[in-house]
């Protein structure tokens, strides 16, 4: 059985999974139930846990969306608010977004991301490019970081050489990087890589950033809340699959506190009360502030990890509304 993956047209390359096919690959060596199985022979199975959708949006959304093929391995989905799409003189800030999924699962075509970013583009008044990067363990880190850097570089080149017409709707001098969970980790690392060479990067937005460390924090030790999607066991498995072989959770890609973040621009960090990562994220904000950086930290109560794409409750909807307007104010100070 081939690894289940999402191609540019968002169709799984192989829908076979589980059952009598497992013996072909030997024993399972890593598993997060319902999300990913890694077999002894290196084959990877990802059940279709979320619907994948095309770039089509309803006319009432007031957004134009379309997909861009960047290479054989990566593509992106762009969202342009009608305010810019149909107004020749209007340009908007550019937000490059990275989806979550522990570096191992997820897609820019997942309906939860498509819906969230469609709304965010209008509310925050920005052009969004959502990156579909390579996944681990087939492509361990730094593959996702390299994909992020390449997408940003490609966008800047399009702006300078008069490439795709839609790029003219982007104010490339107002670039922001954002993501949730592992995607926030990617945004952070991409920012570190480009900040010395790009004066266009104005800010970084980290939603429940996925970091770790060998020492456990208080919130990681607590009993997992039913209101949060990320467990400590799943977190550890993601890191084993994503980091270079043999690396510990104190690798700087996992634990940013072992290296300097002083080069980052202004940063906004969203945290969730029931997220096991809350204490680690709070400590990260504290360290960044100690380096003299402007960091705005927001904790949303009553919700868990990645609630903005996973939780449909009324409490979550209120928090999502607050998140989007804070994002707008960050992008348009």
Domains of the chain: 53-331 (3.40.50.1820)
- At residue 223, the pLDDT reads 64
What percentage of the chain exceeds 70 in pLDDT? 90
Residue 16 confidence (pLDDT) above 70:
no
- At residue 163, the pLDDT reads 72
Q: What pLDDT, in 10s, does the model give residues 19-55?
A: 334 458 899 999 999 999 999 999 999 999 999 999 9
- At residue 300, the pLDDT reads 98
Residue 224 confidence (pLDDT) above 60:
yes
pLDDT-based confidence at residue 234 (cuts at 50, 70, 90): very high
Which one from 181, 219, 227, 228 is the annotated catalytic residue? Answer: 181
DSSP 240-251: HHHSPTT--TTS
CA distance 172 to 78: 14
Does the bond joining 142 to the residue before it have cis omega, within 30 degrees of 0? yes
User: Average pLDDT in the 212-223 region?
Assistant: 92
Rounded to whole angstroms, what are the CA distances from 185 to 169, 181, 188, 290? Answer: 27, 7, 5, 20
235 is annotated as an active-site residue: no
3-state secondary structure of 40: coil
pTM over 0.75: yes
- At residue 227, the pLDDT reads 63
* Angle of CA points 130, 131, 132, to nearest 5°: 125
CB atoms within 10 A of CB 246: 6
- At residue 87, the pLDDT reads 87
Q: Are strands 201-207 and 170-180 parallel, antiparallel or unpaired?
A: parallel
CA distance 332 to 330: 6
User: In degrees rounded to 5, what are phi and psi of residue 194?
Assistant: -105, -10
Lay out the sheet containing 36-39: strands in order across.
Answer: 28-32, 36-39, 44-45
- Tracing tokens 């009324």 back to the chain, one arrives at 314
Q: Show the tokens assigned to 41.
A: 């022979």
């Amino acid at each position: 059985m081939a690894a289940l993956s999402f191609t540019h047209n968002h169709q799984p390359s192989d829908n076979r999974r589980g059952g009598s096919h497992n013996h072909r690959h030997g024993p399972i060596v890593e598993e997060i139930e319902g999300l990913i199985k890694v077999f002894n022979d290196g084959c990877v199975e990802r059940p279709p846990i979320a619907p994948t959708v095309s770039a089509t949006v309803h006319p009432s959304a007031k957004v134009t969306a379309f997909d861009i093929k960047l290479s054989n391995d990566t593509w992106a989905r762009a969202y342009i608010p009608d305010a810019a799409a149909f107004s020749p003189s209007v340009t908007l800030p550019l937000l490059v977004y990275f989806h979550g999924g522990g570096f191992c699962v997820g897609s820019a075509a997942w309906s939860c991301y498509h819906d969230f970013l469609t709304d965010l583009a209008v509310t925050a008044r920005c052009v969004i490019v959502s990156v579909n990067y390579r996944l681990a363990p087939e492509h361990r880190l730094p593959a996702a970081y390299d994909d992020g850097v390449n997408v940003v570089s490609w966008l800047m080149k399009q702006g300078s050489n008069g490439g795709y017409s839609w790029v003219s709707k982007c104010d490339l001098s107002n670039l922001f990087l954002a993501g949730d969970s592992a995607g926030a980790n990617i945004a952070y690392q991409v920012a570190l890589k480009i900040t010395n060479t790009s004066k266009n990067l104005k800010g970084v937005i980290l939603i429940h950033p996925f970091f770790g460390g060998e020492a456990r924090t208080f919130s990681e030790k607590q009993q997992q809340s039913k209101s949060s999607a990320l467990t400590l066991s799943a977190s550890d498995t993601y890191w084993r699959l994503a980091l270079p072989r043999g690396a510990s959770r104190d690798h700087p890609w996992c634990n940013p506190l072992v290296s300097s973040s002083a080069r980052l621009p202004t940063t906004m960090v969203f945290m969730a009360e029931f997220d096991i990562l809350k204490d680690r994220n709070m400590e990260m904000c504290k360290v960044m502030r100690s380096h003299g950086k402007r960091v705005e930290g927001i904790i949303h109560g009553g919700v868990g990890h990645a609630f903005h794409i996973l939780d449909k409750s009324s409490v979550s909807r209120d928090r999502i509304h607050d998140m989007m307007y804070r994002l707008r104010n960050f992008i348009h100070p």
